[in-house]
Amino acid sequence: MKPLFIKNFTLQELEARVAGMGEKPFRARQLYKHLYARNVADWSECTDLSRSFCARLESEVSLHALAVSRVDEADDGTRKYLFRLHDGHFIESVLIPDPPRCTLCVSSQAGCALGCKFCLTGKLGLKRNLQTAEIVDQVCQALRDPKLGSKVNSLVFMGMGEPLANLDQVLRAVSIITDPNGLMFSHRRVTLSTAGLVPQMRRLGTATPVNLAISIHAPNDALRDDLMPVNRTYPLAELMRACRDYPLQARKRITFEYILLEGVNDSPAQAKELVRLLRGVAAKINLIAFNPHPGSIFRTPSMERVLEFQDVLRKANLTAIIRKSRGGEIGAACGQLAAKEGRN
């Protein structure tokens, strides 16, 4: 029998569950506070709940959806968590200290089905979608980290998987993460990334005001078709149309992630193509030099090449930021997540 994770429930669902156990509705609100505001690690910490109620909770639902298998720390302070799921699969999350921000990179799937050529996660294939509790519990576990937990103030759904391919569970998780009675993160501190699933983007835009990031990585269809198979289903014209129509709050922009691959997509001419592509979109661009991993055919461009690319974008009045890769020596940098202990 599959375990029933209590963090799968929204507050309203928890109220119904608690009522079904013969408890008064306010007990659900107490329990919700213990789960998130207090982030309890054990039912015994719920001291204002009766022992009989806690005993029933312990026998009927699981408090934790994840088990920490390993924590690795890089020289720059980046911490990578390997989590074991109840069915034996593994996922990874990464905690990145970059004062004043301390960002948790969250996974939404075990593995990934999109098969982007430059991404190690894509080589795993898709094992399965994560449940709401498995997403939320990554945040809860990170918040309990003795070194950095108290500093976590930003979340990005840029770990393993394509968040919009698991949109139902991701939206439920986001509702708990941003609930003032839940984990209390501001919508402005939560970013969802997508490789460009256009129908799901339209739904996301009406469902939540969290930030949107697009993994773009190529300025034309021919190259993007080769690097990112999703482009064959949702080509750039369709993706850009969805970006222009995306409902953004005042002063918000869509972030475009662009991994620079030496000799592939890093020329000044391709930067000019990207300028033309993004015309009419409220955009900012994060430039990321490729993070190498075993077996990859791609190489990291020189910093001179990266700066040339950035210069073209800036001269076109686009905000273009070079993102420093973090945690590369522990396989925690962008595109390196592989949950190695979970591989068969």
Choosing from 92, 134, 162, 257, the catalytic residue is 92
DSSP-derived letter for residue 323 is P
Torsion of CA 336, 322, 107, 41, to 10 degrees: 110
Q: Exposed e or buried b for every residue in 281-318, given b needs 16+ CB within 10 A?
A: bebbbbbbbbbbbeebebebbeeebbeebbebbeeeeb
Q: In this structure, are residues 143 and 185 in contact, taking their beta carbons and an 8 Å threshold?
A: no
Alpha helices, H only, the chain: 11-20, 25-35, 51-60, 132-143, 167-178, 198-207, 221-227, 236-245, 268-277, 303-315
**227 phi, psi to nearest 5 deg:** -80, -35
Residue of 46, 102, 116, 334 marked active site:
334
Is 334 catalytic? The answer is yes
Please indicate whether residue 92 is annotated as part of the active site.
yes
HSE of 90, CA atoms in CB hemisphere, 13 A: 19
* Catalytic (active-site) positions: 92, 334
